[in-house]
Amino acid sequence: MNERWVIKIGSSLVTDEGRGLDHQAIMAWAQQIVTLRNQGIDTVLVSSGAVAEGMSRMGWKTRPSSLHELQAAAAIGQMGLIQAYEAYFQQHGLHSAQVLLTHDDLADRKRYLNARTTLRTLLGLGVIPVVNENDTVATDEIRFGDNDTLAALVANLVEADTLVILTDIDGVYTGNPHSDPEAKLIPTAHAWDRKLDSYAGPSASILGSGGMSTKITAARRAARSGARTIIASGRAPKVLPRLREGEQIGTRLLPDKEPLAARKQWIAGQLKARGELWLDHGAARVIREKGSSLLPVGITQVKGSFSRGEVVSCLSPDGEEVARGLSNYSADEARKLAGHPSDLIPTLLGYEDEPELIHRDNLVIV
């Protein structure tokens, strides 16, 4: 199977400083992606720019804060963005395909599998998928929030080898390079290195929605399926072919854990948990150290409203998320079972589906 890359290109790299799409830049990105394909790399493109293009067409100078205006800008701008990519890929005899996703598409297991099959089929046909969030129907509750997160989840979907996040800075620094002359570029690190969190900062762009912290989080999501992440400047000349040749550009964040099984990747990728299960110290410890199933006896409190089979967060006594998984019981049932041994389930509920509240096969340590 060919090597597989997911490439995310930020708004600042495909727009003319907010004055609409930069067609010369998009043509150059198409050429670089074609170069990768000619070297045997299947590519999925996650491109920002729709909202920025919509803003330009409407004459708006600042990014809207209200969801309905963002949706309108995305709907207007998506037309121009996809037309541009299609035109420039066709110059090289390649077809592209628009794929619009929402969080609900990936939260529902059946739709998740359908999206995965579609993307893999497109790659098998030699088509370049151009992926974006379906902003026109997304709501605050079901938004990915930024294309860095979307790109990481797409990397999981297609089991990519590499996630490339192209931005307008050179990579991850030990401080803010704009204000700290001592800040140094980090060439390589493990994605789960917690020192990275202290280096991250918010986005300074009026067009983008994600800062360095979202990119580091995206790298950790991508690492769950074994993908490495490269965060690099899209301003570097011919950056994609140079990365393919192994040149050290930007920051490489490497997976330092075994890839999760496909089903656990899906569970871990859920952005919205439906409820919370608070654990006692013993339950939190055995889940962290042994990856054991969660039994009702280890639950001290149940929050939220969820049904059987929905994703819930498992929290330690100090409120830190330990794991998340698919609950075998509803919230009301879990409240009745909390703190009791499993052999009392038939007595407390009048029936027993499973002895575990969450089976270890449906539990992911976070």
**244: domain CATH number?**
3.40.1160.10
In this structure, the answer to whether residues 330 and 190 fall within a common structural domain is: no
pLDDT of residue 343 exceeding 70: yes
In this structure, the answer to whether residues 195 and 243 fall within a common structural domain is: yes
pLDDT given for residue 103 in this prediction: 78
Beta carbons of 353 and 329 less than 8 angstroms apart: yes
Domain boundary among 264, 298, 328: 264
Q: What is the mean pLDDT of the chain?
A: 88
Amino acid at 189: A
The better pLDDT of the pair 350, 65 is held by 350
User: Which tokens belong to 29?
Assistant: 């990105």
Is residue 62 very low, low, confident or very high in pLDDT (cuts 50, 70, 90)? Answer: confident
Amino acid at 76: I
Is residue 142 very low, low, confident or very high in pLDDT (cuts 50, 70, 90)? Answer: very low
Is residue 208 very low, low, confident or very high in pLDDT (cuts 50, 70, 90)? Answer: very low
In this structure, the answer to whether residues 67 and 96 fall within a common structural domain is: yes
In this structure, the answer to whether residues 193 and 258 fall within a common structural domain is: yes
Domain boundary among 264, 297, 328: 264
Q: The tokens 């592209």 sit on which residue?
A: 96
What 3 state SS string does the chain have? CCEEEEEEECHHHCECCCCCECHHHHHHHHHHHHHHHHCCEEEEEEECCHHHHHHHHHCCCCCCCCHHHHHHHHHHHHHHHHHHHHHHHHCCCCCEEEEEECHHHHHCHHHHHHHHHHHHHHHHCCCEEEEEECCCCCCHHHCCCCHHHHHHHHHHHHCCCEEEEEECCCCCECCCCCCCCCCCECCEEECCCCHHHHHCCCCCCCCCCCCHHHHHHHHHHHHCCCCEEEEEECCCCCHHHHHHCCCCCCEEEECCCCCCCHHHHHHHCCCCCCEEEEECHHHHHHHHHHCCCECHHHEEEEEECCCCCCEEEEECCCCCEEEEEECCCCHHHHHHHCCCCHHHHHHHHCCCCCCCCECHHHEEEC
220 phi/psi in degrees, rounded to 5: -70, -40
The better pLDDT of the pair 344, 109 is held by 344
The better pLDDT of the pair 64, 28 is held by 28
CA neighbor of 81 nearest in space, from 42, 55, 43, 120: 55
Q: Model's pTM, two decimal places? A: 0.84
In this structure, the answer to whether residues 258 and 294 fall within a common structural domain is: no
Angle at which helix 50-58 crosses helix 67-90, to 10 degrees, equals 110
In this structure, the answer to whether residues 190 and 283 fall within a common structural domain is: no
pLDDT given for residue 199 in this prediction: 76
pLDDT given for residue 209 in this prediction: 41
pLDDT of residue 327 exceeding 50: yes
pLDDT given for residue 181 in this prediction: 82
In this structure, the answer to whether residues 153 and 70 fall within a common structural domain is: yes
> Cα 23–24–29 angle (5° rounding)?
95
Tally of domains within the chain: 2
Give the residue numbers spanning the domain of 28: 3-264
Residue 28's contacts (CB-CB under 8 Å, 6 or more residues apart) are none
Least confident of 174-183, 194-203, 312-321: 194-203
Domain boundary among 264, 293, 314: 264
In this structure, the answer to whether residues 169 and 49 fall within a common structural domain is: yes
CATH of residue 331: 2.30.130.10
In this structure, the answer to whether residues 52 and 120 fall within a common structural domain is: yes
pLDDT of residue 303 exceeding 90: yes
In this structure, the answer to whether residues 252 and 315 fall within a common structural domain is: no
Beta carbons of 275 and 312 less than 8 angstroms apart: yes
Beta carbons of 211 and 144 less than 8 angstroms apart: no
Report pLDDT digits (tens) over 266-302: 888 776 788 999 999 999 999 999 889 999 999 999 9
- Once rounded to an integer, what is the mean pLDDT over residues 143-159? 84
In this structure, the answer to whether residues 22 and 112 fall within a common structural domain is: yes
- Once rounded to an integer, what is the mean pLDDT over residues 220-242? 94
* Calpha distance 220→256 (Å, rounded): 10
- Once rounded to an integer, what is the mean pLDDT over residues 209-216? 76
In this structure, the answer to whether residues 144 and 176 fall within a common structural domain is: yes
Least confident of 111-115, 206-210, 346-350: 206-210
